[in-house]
Amino acid sequence: MSQITRIGVMTSGGDSPGMNAAIRAVVRTSIFCGLDVFGIYRGYEGLIDDQIEQLSSSSVSNIIQRGGTILKTARSKRFMEYTGRLQAYNNLKAHNIDAMVVIGGNGTFTGASLFDMEFDFPIIGLPGTIDNDLYGTDATIGYDTAINTVVEAADKIRDTASSHDRLFFIEVMGRDAGFIALRSGIACGAEFILVPETTTYIDNLARLLKHDWRRSKTSGIVIVAEGDESGGAYEVAAKVKEKVPELDTRVTILGHIQRGGSPSAFDRVLASTLGFISVRGLIQGQRGVMAGIVNKEIVYTPFDNAIKHHKDINKEMLEMSRILAL
């Protein structure tokens, strides 16, 4: 592989808190290593439209604490077509960019893997998604902040639930994975946690809730991942209400509030570390991989493995959550 002299950096797909910290680390590490670094705005869409400009150290000043992404982000249907990817490649070569760091999730890495294969272009990915559903890292950038956001909201909802003797169903993000629901549910003392990885039996849920209320409880919280197979929070709440009409139920959907906000200290350090090692990895010849941290060790996982290998939820923690909520 020829020597790398210019690196491009982009954020793609859904945003997550800590992306700016990762961008900052990529930019300043590149400059320290004597490389030129270019920001690609609006992900693959911006790459196709040549929205590329050189960044300096001052370009990333005062952003480590900011949520969102200064490079913007987008989902690109055009990049799914070869003509779009070819235009993206031509734009990179026009700027003499030799390699890229892409920050995103499954869709981002799928596109990066295909692009590398077609054009022999070195790319390293950073796991930027609140869902924590990528294989090859213990935590993704933004996951910790999202959990803290959910817990803060659930604690406030618990106050009003207790005041009115109500049962709240709180829907959190997690279309395919229940990591946010599980961790936040344990942290806020939820009575039940519903995730896509396990089957939800409404009859059993209703029976246990009814038992809780008869025993001593007058309020409660059920955390529902949006991808739970029994439906979202509104559907689950309606089914429970039908079976236990005496319960005073309410529904709150937290939605995109989980993606925003200032990143936690954990996410700032994680993003900074991954941004730093991504540049170092490219210089050392790594490509077609996602940079991650597993058991406090730096690992590089091939894109295909990061995308396709399933990351299991800890079902013992689900059992623990129910025991602790008794």
Mean pLDDT of 225-242: 90
**Which pLDDT does position 169 carry in this prediction?**
95
pLDDT in tens, 74-115: 888 999 999 999 999 999 999 999 999 999 998 999 999 999
Mean pLDDT of 234-240: 92
Would you kindly state where each structural domain of the chain is located, as residue ranges? 6-142+263-308, 145-259
**Which pLDDT does position 1 carry in this prediction?**
44
Q: Is the pTM of this model over 0.85?
A: yes
**How many angstroms separate the Cα of 40 from the Cα of each of 20, 26, 43, 218, 316?**
13, 13, 6, 53, 42
- Rounded to whole angstroms, how far apart are CA atoms 294 and 325? 30
Distance from first CA to last CA of the chain, Å, rounded?
Answer: 60
**Which pLDDT does position 313 carry in this prediction?**
80
pLDDT in tens, 163-175: 998 899 999 998 8
Amino acid letter at 276? F
- Rounded to whole angstroms, how far apart are CA atoms 167 and 164? 9
* 260-279 CB burial, b ≥16 within 10 A, e <16: ebebbebbbebbbbbbbbbb
**Which pLDDT does position 214 carry in this prediction?**
65
**Which pLDDT does position 193 carry in this prediction?**
93
Q: Is residue 22 scored above 50 in pLDDT?
A: yes
Query: What is the dihedral sign for C-alpha 299, 75, 58, 259?
Result: negative
Q: Which of 55-69, 76-90, 208-222 shows the lowest mean pLDDT across its residues?
A: 208-222
Instruction: Check 15, 98, 116, 131 and give the catalytic one.
Output: 131
- Statement: 145-259 belongs to CATH 3.40.50.460: yes
**Which pLDDT does position 150 carry in this prediction?**
97
* Residue 304 annotated as catalytic: no
pLDDT in tens, 250-264: 999 999 999 999 999
What CATH number does domain 6-142+263-308 carry, 3.40.47.10, 3.40.50.300, 3.40.50.450, 1.20.1630.10? 3.40.50.450
Q: What tokens does 33 get?
A: 């290593």
Q: Is residue 187 scored above 50 in pLDDT?
A: yes
Q: Which residues pair with 7 in a beta bridge?
A: 37, 99
pLDDT in tens, 2-12: 589 999 999 99
- Rounded to whole angstroms, how far apart are CA atoms 288 and 109? 9
pLDDT in tens, 291-307: 999 999 999 999 999 98
Q: Which of 83-92, 99-108, 117-126, 239-248 shows the lowest mean pLDDT across its residues?
A: 239-248
> Strand 249-253's sheet: what is its strand order?
192-194, 220-225, 167-172, 249-253
Residues in the chain: 326
Mean pLDDT of 303-324: 85
Q: How many percent of the chain have pLDDT more than 90?
A: 75
